[in-house]
């Protein structure tokens, strides 16, 4: 009998695709996703509140930080969920939500993620699926600032699975 122990290795992925409640709900349904957290990235203020981001022009995007097991779900699969759950041609808005905090953005954590995200965006652009150009930013991950507790798993706490209109 082996006494070896194996430890699960997880990776992080961070996506901004509009209101973080619906984005988080989409990722929580994927086999291999170990945890999610909603918060803010890409702005100028340390530890911003939801109110700061929405009303004080901090430049942060609403994002979901996903911890996943790459042996169960690939980063490319995570990218597919990103593209399929928002309109990447809308600049600084998604549906009725308007402001730079709702921008479409992929924050990469590794050079491999950057390459995969760039290639994925290229394939989507070449597909002819969109009537307008894709405006999704692909930029290096910065400090993730977790949103207030009441935002975490917001839809789940209310018995909802999506907030799509």
Residue reference for tokens 């997880």:
10
Task: List average pLDDT for each run of 10 residues in the chain, which is 165 residues long.
Answer: 54 93 89 94 93 90 96 97 95 91 96 98 95 97 85 61 55
Indicate which residues carry an active-site annotation: 19
Separation CA 3–CA 117 (nearest Å): 39
* pTM score of the predicted model: 0.88
The enclosing H or E element of 155 equals: helix 154-157
Non-local (6+) Cβ contacts of 120 within 8 A are 76, 79, 80, 83
pLDDT of residue 162: 59
pLDDT tens-place string over residues 21-61:
789 989 989 999 999 999 999 999 999 988 999 898 899 99
Residue reference for tokens 């018995």:
159
Tell me the angle at which helices 20-28 and 75-84 cross, rounded to the nearest 10 degrees: 140
Q: Which domains, from first to last, does the chain contain?
A: 11-157 (3.30.1060.10)
Separation CA 78–CA 28 (nearest Å): 11
pLDDT of residue 139: 98
């Amino acid at each position: 009998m082996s006494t070896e122990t194996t430890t699960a290795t997880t990776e992080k992925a961070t996506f901004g695709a509009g209101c973080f409640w619906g984005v988080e709900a989409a990722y929580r349904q994927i086999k291999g996703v170990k945890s999610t957290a909603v918060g803010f990235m890409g702005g100028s203020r340390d530890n911003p509140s939801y109110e700061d981001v929405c009303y004080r022009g901090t430049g942060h995007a609403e994002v979901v930080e996903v911890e996943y097991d790459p042996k169960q779900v690939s980063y490319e699969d995570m990218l597919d969920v990103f593209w399929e759950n928002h309109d990447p041609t809308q600049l600084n808005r998604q549906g009725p939500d308007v402001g730079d905090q709702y921008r479409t953005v992929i924050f990469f954590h590794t050079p491999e993620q950057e390459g995969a995200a760039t290639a994925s965006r290229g394939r989507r652009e070449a597909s002819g699926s969109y009537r307008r150009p894709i405006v999704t930013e692909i930029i290096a991950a910065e400090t993730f600032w977790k949103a207030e507790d009441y935002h975490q798993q917001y839809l789940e706490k209310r018995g909802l699975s999506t907030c799509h209109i």
